[in-house]
Amino acid sequence: MSVEDINPNGPKHVAIIMDGNGRWATQRNRPRLFGHQAGAKRVRQAVETCPQLGVKYLTMFAFSTENWKRTQSEVSGLMALFRRYIQREANYLHRLGTRVRFIGDREKLDKKLQALMDYLEKLTENNDVTHLTIALNYGARDEVTRATQRLAVEIAEKRLRPDQVNSEVLASFLDTYVLPDPDLVIRTSGEARISNFLLWQSAYAEYEFIDTHWPDFTPEVFTSVVARYGNRDRRFGAVKA
């Protein structure tokens, strides 16, 4: 059975802003990192659920360029959690047939974490069941800025003419150049904003802002959100006859 047979009208690329870990923990009188640890477990479930829903690409917002403003203890705890996650989940993701990519400015991350990211990308580079992209030290404005800088170098070195630059050319310099644009963007925890996430790529995405905190984002919740997407009329600016 093909992906199209499973969910012919469903999204093929889902992007998720995983929000609410800290609030979920606070409601339970636990430290914020407890919530982040609980949220990490939901990532595995989301990846496992994708093939059942016909979702080929899953992009998850793990740490933004703005998250460095959090307390040093929380940032350090998150970086340690990312390292442990890769070490613990690498082989399992590989067995699932998941290809893992990271987007964002990884040069600002510590060297051990960078090495683990490189390792996981290399380990899974030939997998094709689900394409998991993790946005780590990512911000859309930062991404477009870095892409524009690379584009400027190409023009300055005369490998590209200014008149050749169009939306497709610019998109080829983005971190997501190998990925299709997201069809559906989900934000958990009741916030109705996009927080500098995939601004260029989500120009025609459908959005779902749900009250569920990320640690409570079960496969059943994922399934219900994807099901609602199938009922939407996507015209991409056109008018149907």
pTM: 0.92
Digit-by-digit pLDDT tens for the chain (241 residues) are 344 445 678 999 999 999 999 999 999 999 999 999 999 999 999 999 999 999 999 999 999 999 999 999 999 999 999 999 999 999 999 999 999 999 999 999 999 999 999 999 999 999 999 999 999 999 999 999 999 999 999 999 999 999 999 999 999 999 999 999 999 999 999 999 999 999 999 999 999 999 999 999 999 999 999 999 976 655 445 545 5
* Residue 190 counted as an annotated binding residue: no
Residue 36 lies in a domain: yes
How many CB atoms neighbour CB 158 within 10 A? 7
Give the residue numbers marked as catalytic.
Answer: 19, 67
25 in any annotated domain: yes
Q: Is residue 157 part of a domain?
A: no
Q: Which of 6, 2, 15, 3 is nearest to 199 (CA)?
A: 15
Q: Is residue 98 part of a domain?
A: yes
Domain with residue 97: its CATH number is 3.40.1180.10
194 is a domain residue: yes
User: CA 106 → CA 87, 88, 173, distances in Å?
Assistant: 17, 20, 16
Q: How many domains does the chain have?
A: 1
| Position 147 in a domain | no
Q: How far apart are CA 82 and CA 40, in angstroms?
A: 9
- Domain of residue 63 covers 13-139+182-228
Q: pLDDT tens across 201-217, in order?
A: 999 999 999 999 999 99
Q: Is 228 annotated as a binding residue?
A: no
Q: Is 22 annotated as a binding residue?
A: yes
Residue 160 lies in a domain: no
Q: φ and ψ at 151, to 5 degrees?
A: -65, -40
Q: Is residue 240 part of a domain?
A: no
Q: Is 70 annotated as a binding residue?
A: yes
